[in-house]
Amino acid sequence: MATLIVDTPALNFRSEPVVASETLIGTVYLGQRVTRARPADEEGWYQCNAVIEGEEVSGFVSGKFLRERLSKNRERLVASVHDQWMRFKRGAGKEHHHPYADYVGEMWQAIGIHLDGTDRDQPWSAAAISFFVRKSGSKYRKFKFAAAHSKFVHHAINARFDKDDSVPFWGYRLDEIRPEIGDIICRDNPSYAPEVDFEIARHQNAYRSHTDVIMHIDRDAGKIYAIGGNVSHSVKIAMYDLTHGNYAADTRHTFALLKNITDGTPD
């Protein structure tokens, strides 16, 4: 087993398989790869290498917070989201401060719009999702890159009904398919009319909404951890709920799931 992925928001990295202040080396974060990972003992510790603050170090982590790699295409999206999350200091870097305003500017410019994070009356969350996806490789090139979530949500839903499997995502109702890491979850913005549900999203392509990329699913706690842009003015984790059947719940104004089909359709 050569590479595993961190599957919790933050995980202590230690010099020995012992929980003590003197063994703490640093922290690895959600979506980060640890390499040469192998079981170290019967207590569930793994010995591995990881990059911490720009340097590769060797040490130990608790194996219960690691997961095996998914498909290459899903992991490319996870890595892209992780990179931007870390770039924004996991939500601490704010849109209008240097250098984060410039990072927002890169997201805008990738879709041909000349704005940056100082243009605070312009929501940049859809530009961020478009940027995450754009950086994830050729399998995602037919994503509907846009400045509004409604454009790519509408596109993904209709691509599914049209059986167009050349695109990277198909849109589903929440009770039709279970969420996975690398999918995109969609919610309404209740501050703006109309109130959005799946049917509105299917038939209209202009409405206020928000999406995040799913990075971790905690079935025991009934929670989905997803990362998006312009979340508290940064790139940050947003929380969603699971039903008892492990579908995305319709709480928090959630109305659709964009299933990642880069490795094939579920139908």
List pLDDT tens digits, range 41-76. Answer: 889 999 999 999 999 999 999 999 999 999 999 999
Considering the domain 3-68 in this protein, what is its CATH number? Answer: 2.30.30.40
When pLDDT is cut at 50, 70 and 90, the band that residue 40 belongs to is confident
pTM for the model: 0.97
Mean pLDDT, rounded, of the chain: 97
Q: 190 preceded by cis ω (within 30°)?
A: no
Q: How far is CA 218 from CA 104, 156, 223, 241, in A?
A: 30, 26, 5, 10
Asked, as a colleague might, if the bond just before 168 is cis with ω within 30 of 0, I would say: no
Q: List the domain boundaries for the chain.
A: 3-68, 72-260
Residue 181 has pLDDT above 70, yes or no: yes
What confidence score (pLDDT) does residue 239 get?
98
Q: Which of 53, 105, 94, 65 is nearest to 216 (CA)?
A: 65
Q: Are strands 209-218 and 184-188 parallel, antiparallel or unpaired?
A: antiparallel
* Mean pLDDT in residue range 77-91: 98
Percent of the chain with pLDDT over 90: 95
The residue among 133, 137, 106 whose CA lies nearest residue 258 is: 133
Give the pLDDT band of residue 259 (cuts 50, 70, 90): very high
pLDDT tens-digit profile of 190-239? 988 889 999 999 999 999 999 999 999 999 999 999 999 999 999 999 99
**Residue 199, CB half-sphere, CA atoms under 13 Å: how many?**
0
From edge to edge, which strands make up the β-sheet containing 234-241? 169-172, 254-260, 184-188, 209-218, 223-231, 234-241
Residue 171 has pLDDT above 90, yes or no: yes
Count CB atoms within 10 A of the CB of residue 260: 26
Phi, psi of 165 (to 5 degrees): -95, 15
Greatest C-alpha distance within the chain: 58
Supply the pLDDT for residue 194.
87
Per-residue pLDDT at 140 exceeds 80: yes
- At 147-161, the pLDDT tens digits run 999 999 999 999 999
H-assigned helices in 90-203: 100-110, 125-134, 149-161, 198-203
pLDDT band, residue 1 (cuts 50/70/90): low
